[in-house]
Structures are given as C-alpha cells and as structure tokens.
C-alpha cells in the first residue's frame, strides 16, 4: 500500500512504524504525521506486497523461503508448498508428502482417517528457515530436493475394494512422474496414514514402478503378516482379506515383498491360538523379527546393526512406521495400542542410524488423533518421524552425489548442503 506521508511500514519484519505516534508532533521535521488508516490508498505492485506482508530469505544457491511463524499459514506439512499433485502432472517434485485418509480396514479402533490432518498440524513448528537437522548436518527443506505437500488421495470410506483401487492408482500415477532433480529416476513418496493397510497399495505401486519386489522395513507392535483366516468371521469374503493386519500377507503372496531381506522391528504382539503358527507364516514370508524387548539387550545400536546387516545400502526399501511401535503411555493416539513399546527417542535414534538405506518410499500410519492427549503427543511423534525419514532421503541423495565432509570435531561424516 502506498500512502502520502513519510511513515515507514515494515510489515515483512512484523513491525509497523509511523515515524511518530499518530497525532503527535514530529520534532525532527516539525510536522504532524497522519495515521496510516487515514492516508490515501494506492494499490501496490505484487513485488511490494510480497515485501510488505511476507519476509523472504535467500539461502543457498538461489533458494527462496518464506519465513513465517509456526502457528501461521494453512495446514500443509511443515509449511511446504501445497499442490494437488495427482492432477498436476506438469509440476515436478523429488519428494512428495501425500495424505491417505483411509481407516475402514481396521480390526479395533477407527479414526486414523484423521491422521494426515493431525500429523500436518503437529508439523507446524517445522519450517524451512529453522529446519537444519544437526544429526545429519543438512536442512532437508533447503537442499537439492524439491519437496511438496501433495495433498490427499481421495479415498472412499464406503467400499474397501474401490478404496484400494483408488490408492493403488494414486501410487502408480505419482510413482511414474519425472522428478525435478536428475539425481533419481523417480520421485519418492512419504505417506501420512490412514490405517496400515495403505501399505499394500504403496507396494503395488512401487513394484510397478521399479519392476520387481521391494524389501520392507516394518516398525510395529504387530506382525501384519497374518493369514486372513486369523481374522475369523461367520460371513467370510474375499474382500475381507484386505485389512490392516493381513496386507503384508497379501503383498507377499503377490510377490511384492523381497523375501529374505525384510525386517520387523518393535514387535510385542500376542499370537493366535496356542502355538507358533503365526511365526511360521511370518518365516515363510522372509521377515527378520526384532522384538521390543531386544532393545534392552542390544540397545538401539544393536537394532541398527541388525537392520543394516539384513538390508544393506543398495536394495530398494519401503519403510513402514506404525506409530503403535511406541509405547501407548507416550503415544496413546492409535487404533491398536500395545503396552511395553519403545520410546520416541529410541525410535528416532534407530531411524537416524539407518539413514544409509536406499529408501524408495515410506509411510507413517495408524495415528488416530481422537485417542491422543491434549498435547498431541502421538501426532507430534508422527511428524518427527516424517522429518527424520525426509532428512535421510535427502542425505542419501547427497551421499550418492559424493557431497560428504567431516563433521566439526571429527565425529563421523556429514553431507554438505551445496545445491
């Protein structure tokens, strides 16, 4: 806004200066100043409006970021640019945050359809101008990758068969897009669930995109490789096989999971019946099992070593994090809580230790905010998990480009954020 006076307006820095208090004498110039709202209005050009109402900061090589408070703005993940990627094929991205608000395949408490909304809200203190991850020595939001909040997959709550087709179509469509960076052949997706059954759609899409089975790293209290018969019903149906406890069984039978290279971590579930049949089914699907109790014996470092020893750094990996891997005392907002879980600190420490994995996709699922505390602790944990996964994806890209240097003090290595 242009006004006919000598007042200084610095809205971009959250300050408004009239030169003097309205109606008071300007002793320097000997004239009375007119209050801002009484001045004649003149339309500003767009460039000046942006300077007045938003503060932009250039970081890195021609990287422009909007600086705003965490409680400001619309509800996108980490204040990222929001694009409905499914209908914008001409908008390239390297990493997409995609919401999948689906929860009609649960066996206990519903409500995870609101998970994407809750995780986005909980991520509001993540901003590009204060997003530097000290453990990785990079700011994932200001590095080589174009990261977008791609909105939600429109999923019907009335027909699970149609819902699965909708989700699969979305993963196939987005997975075949061309990324902005030449670093990778395909963009990567981090899904905000939704119940855990969305992983089947993701694996179907990834298998189509990458032309073969994908290794799965699965953090969860439960196996989720259960034979559908372990969910008995007097009126069984083929469609009922698709649920949040049998989706990996289905994926294995469809040849989507790399048998012998996949891992469960954080397990503490009860089993069916009176024997080890559930474990035998799981063995046939080729998963290594790491229980929640194992962390007491081998610590986070031992868990990291077991995962990396099994999966290595080259094979494509889908990382699936069920928030119920955490103890319900710390993360109560989930559909199938199991006491005795890991702390958020332990999970985050393990996620940081596996940053060398070749992640091609990931999800954070089963956040059900209706059961969360007033402090949104479950959603906050989910948002932090997403941030750590995002950091690892970006850092792995930098490592593939050879952008590495010593951390100050000589402790390990860090990626140089030069792009």
Asked whether residue 4 is domain-assigned, the answer is no
CA distance 414 to 403: 8
Picking from 362, 348, 364, 350, the residue whose alpha carbon sits closest to that of residue 393 is: 362
The two structure tokens encoding residue 383:
């948002």
Contact 404, 129 (CB under 8 A): no
Report the b/e string of 161-183 with b at 16+ CB within 10 A. eebbebbbebbbebbebebbbee
Q: State pLDDT tens for residues 289-326.
A: 999 999 999 999 999 999 999 999 999 999 999 999 99
Q: State pLDDT tens for residues 33-87.
A: 888 888 888 888 888 887 777 766 555 444 555 667 778 778 899 999 999 999 9
- Residue matched to tokens 């372990």: 230
CATH number of the structural domain spanning residue 258: 3.40.800.10
Asked whether residue 44 is domain-assigned, the answer is no
Strands (E), 200-249: 215-219
Asked whether residue 118 is domain-assigned, the answer is yes
CA distance 216 to 210: 14
What is the pTM (predicted TM-score) of this model?
0.86
Asked whether residue 19 is domain-assigned, the answer is no
Domain hosting residue 379, numbered range = 83-229+239-402
Q: Which of 24-33, 186-195, 245-254 has the lowest mean pLDDT?
A: 24-33
Asked whether residue 148 is domain-assigned, the answer is yes
CA distance 193 to 114: 8
Q: State pLDDT tens for residues 170-196.
A: 999 999 999 998 777 899 999 999 999
Picking from 312, 319, 252, the residue whose alpha carbon sits closest to that of residue 287 is: 252
Asked whether residue 129 is domain-assigned, the answer is yes
What is the domain count for the chain? 1
Helix (H) or strand (E) holding 306: helix 294-311
Question: In angstroms, what is the C-alpha Rg of the chain?
Answer: 25
CA dihedral 321, 201, 387, 62 (to 10 degrees): 160
Asked whether residue 310 is domain-assigned, the answer is yes
Asked whether residue 261 is domain-assigned, the answer is yes
Estimate the crossing angle of helix 294-311 against helix 344-353, to 10 degrees: 30
């Amino acid at each position: 806004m242009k006004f006919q006076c000598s007042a200084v307006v610095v809205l971009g820095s959250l300050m408004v200066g009239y030169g003097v208090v309205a109606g008071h004498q300007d002793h320097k110039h000997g004239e009375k100043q007119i209050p801002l709202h009484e001045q004649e209005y003149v339309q500003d050009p767009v460039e000046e409006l942006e300077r007045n109402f938003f503060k932009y900061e250039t970081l890195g090589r021609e990287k422009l970021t909007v600086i705003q408070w965490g409680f400001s703005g619309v509800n996108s993940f980490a204040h990222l640019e929001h694009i409905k990627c499914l209908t914008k094929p001409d908008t390239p991205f390297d990493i997409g945050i995609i919401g999948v608000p689906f929860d009609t395949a649960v066996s206990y408490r519903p409500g995870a359809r609101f998970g994407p909304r809750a995780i986005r809200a909980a991520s509001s203190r993540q901003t590009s101008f204060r997003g530097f991850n000290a453990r990785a020595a990079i700011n994932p939001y200001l590095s080589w990758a174009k990261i977008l909040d791609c909105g939600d997959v429109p999923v019907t709550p009335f027909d699970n068969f149609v819902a699965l087709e909708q989700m699969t179509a979305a993963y196939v469509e987005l997975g075949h897009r061309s990324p902005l960076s030449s670093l990778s052949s395909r963009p990567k997706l981090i899904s905000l669930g939704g119940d855990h059954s969305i992983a089947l759609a993701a694996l179907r899409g990834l298998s189509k995109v990458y032309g073969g089975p994908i290794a799965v790293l699965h953090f969860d209290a439960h196996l989720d490789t259960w034979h559908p018969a372990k969910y008995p019903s007097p009126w069984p149906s083929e469609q009922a096989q698709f649920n949040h406890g049998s989706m990996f069984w289905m994926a294995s039978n469809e040849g989507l999971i790399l048998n012998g290279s996949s891992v469960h971590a954080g397990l503490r579930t009860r089993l069916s019946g009176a024997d080890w049949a559930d474990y035998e089914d799981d063995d046939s699907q080729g998963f290594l099992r790491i229980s929640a109790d194992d962390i007491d014996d081998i610590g986070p470092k031992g868990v990291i070593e077991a995962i990396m020893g099994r999966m290595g750094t080259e094979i494509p990996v889908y990382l699936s994090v069920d928030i119920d891997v955490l103890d319900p005392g710390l993360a109560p907002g989930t559909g199938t809580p199991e006491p005795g879980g890991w702390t958020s600190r332990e999970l985050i420490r393990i996620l940081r230790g596996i940053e060398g994995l070749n992640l091609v996709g990931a999800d954070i699922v089963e956040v059900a905010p209706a059961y969360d505390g007033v402090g949104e602790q479950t959603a906050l944990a989910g948002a932090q998990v997403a941030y750590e996964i995002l950091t690892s994806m970006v850092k792995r890209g930098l490592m593939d480009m050879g952008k590495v240097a010593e951390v100050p003090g000589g402790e390990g290595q860090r990626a140089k954020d030069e792009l």
